Structure 1
Amino acid sequence: MIRNIKNHLLLFVMISCHLLGQKSSFIYELKYKPHTDSIRLDTITYYLDRDKDVSLFRSAMFRKSDSLAVKRGYPNGFDTEFNNKQLYVKKDAKENTVLKYVFIPIAYSTFAIKINEKLEWKILPEKQTIGKYLCQKAEGSYGGRIWNAWFTSEVPISDGPYIFNGLPGLIIKITDDQGDYDFELVQIKDFKWKELYPAKYQKLISWEDFQKIQTDFYNNPLSTLKKGDILNEDASGNLSEANHRDVKESIRKNIRSKNNPIELNYKVDFKTN
């Protein structure tokens, strides 16, 4: 029995040193409601890439886009929705900063918001095994939501998906109390790239700035485009100029249908008229 405990502790130390001593990718699956009235849940794969004191949390799409930007000088295009698909966060433990990146569609502009909301965790006695990890429960609040987190000290890294961190171990699963967002760790891999390749942003903005950016884009999503910039292609490959009014309303409808931001306290209510 004592021998088994020693072997287990040795394996734990080896795993801890392995994770702390090199770059790692923690792959999370996010299940979320695009809209508060949604019946179905959408799913997106996110990567938490860590290198020493810095981590980047971004979707597989943005991760690929960032690496392409380094190779060819520009990223892929941005989706026309501001929420859910655009959860992109850079955490720097040494500088004690958390930055949320926001990407402006069509204009291809990138800004960052400094997250100043402090996470206050209450660690609870409840424990359960998730996957292969023994986890303990913690409760906290962020963005106008109450969050239930399950973390493991078996992976001694104080990090987790999105902005979440500060617990004595890696967050394996975290869900808001309304069931709108559910992050769960599905895999841990070695990080093969030489660098993290974070996206470059033009400037820091406030939440109020971001709300105005969203409202302005919703009101006129095609403001940076000229007549003839948007084309339709028929089955034969022939191009014709698209109707800007129809395209505009299509974009606006898409934004309204996916307006369930993770930060409910900064939600923008888009009007139909």
Structure 2
Amino acid sequence: MKKIGIIALALFMQHISAQNNRFVYQVTMKPDAENKSDIKTENTYLDISAEKSLFYSENRYKRDSILQKAFQGGGGRASVSREQMEGMRSNINYSVEKDMASQKTYFKDRIGRDVYVYEEDRPLNWSMSSETTKIGDYKVQKATTDFAGRKWTAWFTTDLPYQDGPYKFKGLPGLIVKVEDDKGDYSFDLMKNYKIAEIVTLNQFGNILKVKRAEYVKQQEKYKKDPMSFMQGGGGGFPAPPRANGGRGGNQNPAEMRKRVEERAKEEAKKNSNPIELP
């Protein structure tokens, strides 16, 4: 009986482990509207368990992990070199979490010192096609949708026991292997997958503010015009020095810091003038 119990436990643990999978997508994007030849690529993870899925950037996870360790080991002030930070720059600083039970989708993104969270309020209405093909090892079927100002074509497979996809994409009877917009500005391509012990917990420096999507968009626009207003007051723990000045400390002239932050915000806004979601 004891042996049977051990075998049953082993099978149970194997079943639980099998429920946690990581799907690695390569994202190809043209974030600069004025320079479409500047093509960015980076890897992202879609971690799926029985309860939820989490989509995020590989670079963002590595960067936040280094910041967290440096911040904890520095007595409350992180010391991270500019080279370290530059090596892990990402165009995907947000994360998307989907709750399997409620079928709700939550988007998280940092604006200044705080993390804004909203529940996606727009449905994904897919038009199914009978067209099929093969991508890698998977037989896939075509579906299309209009979402957030773009027309998307997705290819999904029923070869895998998941009904999910990268970013906010979901609602098809299978896992999305590839999805791209009709302008060729954004593409998500499944590269590989493997089992993981558990879904990671992303570090969230600063306050977490739950808002409506419209409020997030409003704050995002406000940040582009006046980034310094988001760097003062609140925050509570976001290690601003490494991001602002490459870890040279917080003793620089306030006017210099304001100018540096404003210039960087304008530069980032220009480089991301073709976002994945359009008005």
Check whether TM > 0.5. Answer: yes
Shorter-chain TM-score: which interval?
A: 0.7 to 0.9
How far off is 1:257 after superposition? 2.3
Structure 2's unaligned 5+ residue stretches are: 1-13, 234-240
Task: Indicate which of 166, 177, 182 corresponds to 2:182.
Answer: 177
- State TM-score, norm by structure 2: 0.73
Structure 1's unaligned 5+ residue stretches are: 1-16, 266-273
- Shift of the 164–20 alpha-carbon distance from structure 1 to 2, 3 Å rule, reads farther
Aligned-partner Cα distance in 2 for 1:250–1:199: 23
- Shift of the 141–221 alpha-carbon distance from structure 1 to 2, 3 Å rule, reads same
Bigger mean CA deviation after superposition, 32-41 or 170-179: 32-41
1:270 equivalent in structure 2: none
Counterparts of residues 103-122 of structure 1 (less than 5 Å): 103-105=110-112, 107=113, 109-122=114-127
Number of equivalences: 237
Task: Indicate which of 120, 139, 144 corresponds to 1:139.
Answer: 144
Deviations, residues 169-214 of structure 1 (Å, cap 9, x unaligned): 1100000111110000001011134x43145562321232122212
Counterparts of residues 254-265 of structure 1 (less than 5 Å): 254-265=268-279
- Shift of the 233–168 alpha-carbon distance from structure 1 to 2, 3 Å rule, reads closer
How far off is 1:19 after superposition? 9.8
2:20 equivalent in structure 1: 23
1:9 equivalent in structure 2: none
Aligned-partner Cα distance in 2 for 1:126–1:232: 51
Secondary structure of the residue aligned to 2:223 is: helix
Task: Indicate which of 58, 61, 77 corresponds to 1:60.
Answer: 58
Give the conservation status (yes or no) of the 8 Å contact 1:172–1:184: yes
RMSD value, Cα: 3.4
1:40 equivalent in structure 2: 38
The amino acid across from 2:42 in the alignment is I
Deviations, residues 18-48 of structure 1 (Å, cap 9, x unaligned): 7994210000000001122321310011000
How far off is 1:220 after superposition? 2.1
- Shift of the 103–172 alpha-carbon distance from structure 1 to 2, 3 Å rule, reads same
Question: Do residues 253 (structure 1) and 267 (structure 2) align?
Answer: yes
The amino acid across from 1:46 in the alignment is T
Aligned-partner Cα distance in 2 for 1:186–1:255: 29
2:201 equivalent in structure 1: 197
2:219 equivalent in structure 1: 213
Aligned-partner Cα distance in 1 for 2:68–2:261: 31
2:7 equivalent in structure 1: none
Aligned-partner Cα distance in 2 for 1:244–1:126: 54
Q: Percent identity?
A: 30
How far off is 1:166 after superposition? 1.0
Give the helix-richer structure, 1 or 2.
2
The amino acid across from 2:117 in the alignment is A
How far off is 1:232 after superposition? 8.0
Aligned-partner Cα distance in 1 for 2:261–2:117: 28
Give the conservation status (yes or no) of the 8 Å contact 2:68–2:203: no
Q: Which has the higher contact order (CA 8 A, sep 6+)?
A: 2
